[in-house]
Amino acid sequence: MIEVIGGLAAVIGTICWLPQSIKTIRSKDTKSLSLSTNILLLSAVTLWFIYGIAIESWPLIVANTVSIILVGTIVAMKLRYG
């Protein structure tokens, strides 16, 4: 049961970045996005990913892999387009 709760939290936490990533990719408008906030978030999800590997938790590993991709895309676009 605890893995189901973790999995659900991971899915919801990951999906929340999908709309922002899609909007940023489509519009290339990053002026209203905070670079420092997104870099901190990218650092956090990367650490959660490493932690998930260490404890062999698939919900953490999968969710944070997707989050790294989504937030990493936002950071890269912010660096490129300002």
Question: Cα dihedral sign for 7, 13, 15, 21?
Answer: negative
* Cβ–Cβ < 8 Å for 66, 15: no
Phi, psi of 73 (to 5 degrees): -65, -45
Stated pTM of the model: 0.87
Is 28 exposed, middle or buried (CB count within 10 Å of its CB: 0-12, 13-18, 19+)? exposed
Phi, psi of 64 (to 5 degrees): -75, -25
Give the model confidence (pLDDT) of 27-50 as tens digits: 999 999 999 999 999 999 999 999
Q: What is the mean pLDDT of the chain?
A: 93
* Domain topology for 2-81: Monooxygenase (1.20.1280)
What is the predicted pLDDT for the residue at 2?
A: 85
pLDDT category, 59, cuts 50, 70, 90?
confident
